[in-house]
Structure 1
């Protein structure tokens, strides 16, 4: 599920880059979040008033973080190759993997992935756009928080209701931040393109990630995300004609090895706590 999610994410991002001339990075990010919010509300029909206060706050925080990672990454790929931006963004999941690993042997996979990220970004060339790097690192911070909050929400709220609350929050957050730029760029065609993009990213990937994080530890999921720069590198080549050098190709081998290692050792030790509805509120244990 996690690998399928990452493929949808990177394909959606590659297509979004192709639409920058039509709506800019602000529009590409905003219209996807708005449509995703609408779709999840129609599918799940959330009832936020039934949740415990801490559950509702977690869903709201997840929405704000989702807007942050979406918009910042759009700004990053406007300035950087897709593979490079994804590699830098991966530092967030990598940080989660290192922080949450419970034994020394598990640290091998994040370290292996870190080498792959270094080879993918090739910092020794000194040609990377500093502003693009800053946006990608900002997205990395948001992505780390997204992983933690998604597992929390997935354990606390049944089904897709957590996403049906968080995604409208993400849409509102994006509207506050970039709505004045994005909305004037929306033609009928752009709105329809945005609907197709929203299904590809984030509707399908986020639903898959929520299910994956119910089965994996955050450390394992964070390391498994090391496959994402490799997928981005491949789709950047196929869709955007961004031809990588030899070092990025070697980096792909490192991140793929780390990803498979995480998949083999990453099952959660205990099942997630079952949400219990008492007096109209969802009760849960914070993971």
Structure 2
């Protein structure tokens, strides 16, 4: 009986912990939107995460050389976080994650020439089409929120692609610390300009630090470790269950409920993501 690869076990554990942490963090984040909005919450998340990562990994000691990829990686991180928070202000977290996940799905599809990809694309499109009646309904999904979730997905695709490129350039922790610092330089001023002195509310800062750890510092570090120890396809397969984790976390923390058809849409996106990633040949 062959031995199970130790690196693969570590990678799987890293991805699972990362998914749970990031979705619990997202649900906690939404609870402080009424006080500092999505912009301020994103500033907390990225700003505190960048500080924590830099203090731990001290990236200035081992600066990499591929700055062009690092800058794109950091900007994708920042754009993904801000647009996702804007999205979940308007639509349920589970649906936002499902729509956002079309980004990683696109990575798997466009990196493959497998005929089965047409099936997976069809399933994903069907899932999105199921949500369209809600968008057209007066009391249904906010179309702006849907668009923002899709934009977050595009940023997520860039995060995976450039994370894989930068991951071979040095220590995982150093790469994530630099990428998060780039994201902070781009995004934190948006939160400061938008929310101003509200960000100095001492009752919110501990929550902001917790969000920074749960939603960014911990999961992105773990994901970078996983990307170094497993193929991009395997990473995408593991990440495919994140929409369901997001929906469950939102239900447990925020009481957000999805309808039968919304759950079906989420399930179709998950099946499409798993199928596409599993059959991708690079």
> Which range, TM-score by smaller chain?
0.7 to 0.9
Distance 1:224 1:60 in 2: 26
Worse-superposed segment, 216-225 or 157-166: 216-225
Distance 1:115 1:226 in 2: 17
2:133 maps to 124
Gaps of 5+ in 2: 1-13
Kindly report which structure 2 residues correspond to 1:30-49, keeping only aligned pairs within 5 A, or say none.
30-47=43-60
* TM-score, structure 2 as length reference: 0.83
> Match for 1:189 among 203, 223, 236?
203
1:199 is displaced (CA, Å) by 0.8
1:213 is displaced (CA, Å) by 1.5
Worse-superposed segment, 216-225 or 242-251: 216-225
1:150 is displaced (CA, Å) by 1.0
> Match for 1:175 among 188, 195, 201?
188
> RMSD of the alignment, in Å?
2.5
2:86 maps to 75
Distance 1:173 1:13 in 2: 20
> Match for 1:245 among 248, 259, 263?
259
1:109 is displaced (CA, Å) by 5.0
Distance 2:192 2:63 in 1: 30
2:162 maps to 149
1:59 is displaced (CA, Å) by 1.7
Tell me whether 1:4 sits opposite 2:17 in the alignment: yes
1:278 maps to none
Check conservation: 1:101, 1:219, Cα contact below 8 A.
no
Q: How many residues are matched?
A: 264
Worse-superposed segment, 129-138 or 163-172: 129-138
Check conservation: 2:99, 2:153, Cα contact below 8 A.
yes
Kindly report which structure 2 residues correspond to 1:178-257, keeping only aligned pairs within 5 A, or say none.
178-186=191-199, 187-257=201-271
1:114 is displaced (CA, Å) by 4.8
Task: Kindly provide the CA deviation profile for residues 74-115 of structure 1, in whole angstroms up to 9, marking residues without a partner as x.
Answer: 111111111121121111111111111253346655554554
Distance 2:198 2:240 in 1: 34
Distance 2:114 2:210 in 1: 42
Task: Kindly provide the CA deviation profile for residues 138-190 of structure 1, in whole angstroms up to 9, marking residues without a partner as x.
Answer: 21111111111111111222231111111111111112333212342111222
* TM-score, structure 1 as length reference: 0.82
1:222 is displaced (CA, Å) by 3.5
Task: Kindly provide the CA deviation profile for residues 183-231 of structure 1, in whole angstroms up to 9, marking residues without a partner as x.
Answer: 4211122222111111101011101111221233334433543322211
Check conservation: 1:220, 1:262, Cα contact below 8 A.
no
Task: Kindly provide the CA deviation profile for residues 260-279 of structure 1, in whole angstroms up to 9, marking residues without a partner as x.
Answer: 5577668x98xxxxxxxxxx
Check conservation: 2:39, 2:191, Cα contact below 8 A.
yes
1:47 is displaced (CA, Å) by 2.6
**Cα distance change, pair 136–255 in 1 and its aligned pair in 2 (3 A):** closer
